[in-house]
Amino acid sequence: MTAAVVLLLGVHGGLLAYSATRHSPTMLEPGFLAAGLSHWEFGRFELFRVNPPLVRMVAALPVLAAGYEADWSGYYEGPGARPEFSMGADFVRANGERSLWLFTLARWACLPFSLAGGLFCFLWARDLWQHNGAGLIALTLWCFEPNVLAHGELITTDCAAASLGLGAGYFFWRWLRHPGWEHAGWAGLMLGLAQLTKSTWIVLFGLWPVLWLTWRLLRPRGDRSGADQVVPLSMQLMQLMVTLLLGVYVLNLGYAYDGTLTPLRDYTFVSSAFTGLEEPGEPGNRFVDSWLGAVPVPLPEQYLLGVDLQKKDFEDYSQPSYLRGEWREGGWWYYYLYGLAVKTPHGTQLMLLLAIVTLFARPGGSRADAGVRDLIVLLTPAVVVLVLVSAQLEFNHHLRYVLPVFGFAFVLCGVTIRWFEGKSATTP
């Protein structure tokens, strides 16, 4: 089994490594790399603040080691400033043809993110469906999914967010089933790392307490044998709080505590949601004269400003959206559902359909399968991300925004092993 996992991950890594040498940089990558280099060089996080810095800092490491030419003269700052694109162009101009090799090095440095996503698919599917074959199904789907292969080779955040968000969900599920300080610590660490890939995962701070309560409310009546029943409620609550606090700590650590605990009134925002002004892009702060203004924000300054700037884009985006031959100011509520329908392989779609049928047909006898609680913990993050992204109707662009949905779906597909394997082929 180990050999099969290593082989699949090796093929996946090889495909990504080769693709990284063949494809020219995307529109975002020069800015990402320039921003990552600036984080290391100056200890500042303004560039590309709309996304957390983990991926671009990893991408910048081999470029720092190989050496590069820098031109920071075009940098500028101000409310809502987006200088990263011009800085990316300056980076390419300064390094000429050698910049292509530097982008390749940066891409190779980010391949472990996608490999980790495949490993999390295997582990969660294997443990959830109690079968090594289930893990291999999920891993295979991840390793050969075109959307994962397309973004796994890049130095952008989407594949890393999909991978580490899935990993955070896996370790949180393990803690729910077997509460303890070790599992709580791993869940907290992965929560923080997921936050450092993409701010989308900020929803987990509110979602995990709800899932914990749901897990307890749906426990089978009279069943006191599970580990989650043995550990007292007060201890579980304490561990959950530590998990969430550890996630916040890791997030702040990734920003080197840049601006952490800045009072809310000291920020200058540009989104209408944070300024209270009708015109998006006009600087302001709706909290200046309220009691909330005195509250120190337990988040890095550039992280919160990035959320604000992303929200401003959702409120007032300068480009129209396109779907099926139609251009529109704004978007469609079904845009990402349609994108998933036309941009995922039919084989994957059939596997997902078969997985749903399997949940009801329950082939393979009386073997213990995942319960309702397990499925809720698995599927809720994917549904929340899909709904959250689809609800942003100001514009629709890029299927990559819902890439985190894929890993959870692949884990669900692992249940189809019930049709192909006998009762004895369970995990050791």
Q: Is 26 helix (H, G, I), strand (E, B) or coil?
A: coil
User: Tens of pLDDT along 410-426?
Assistant: 999 999 998 876 544 44
* Across 39-43, 71-75, 117-121, 138-142, least confident range: 71-75
> Band of the pLDDT at 362, cuts 50, 70, 90?
confident
* pLDDT, mean of residues 288-314: 93
> Band of the pLDDT at 314, cuts 50, 70, 90?
confident
User: Tens of pLDDT along 47-81?
Assistant: 999 999 999 999 999 999 999 999 999 899 888 88
Retrieve residue 319's tokens: 């480009």
Amino acid at 287: F
Distance CA 418, CA 360 (A): 12
Give yes or no for a contact between 424 and 359, defined as CB atoms under 8 angstroms apart.
no
Reply yes or no on whether the pLDDT at 428 is more than 90: no
Q: Which residue has the higher pLDDT, 281 or 184?
A: 184
CA 184 to each of CA 164, 209, 380: distance values in angstroms, whole numbers, following the listed order:
16, 13, 20
User: Tens of pLDDT along 82-91?
Assistant: 999 999 999 9
Distance CA 81, CA 92 (A): 21
Reply yes or no on whether the pLDDT at 318 is more than 80: no
DSSP 348-379: HHHHHHHHHHHHHH--STT-----HHHHHHHH
Reply yes or no on whether the pLDDT at 222 is more than 80: no
* pLDDT, mean of residues 333-353: 95
- Domains of the chain, by residue range, sit at 25-109
Percentage of residues in the chain having pLDDT higher than 90: 80
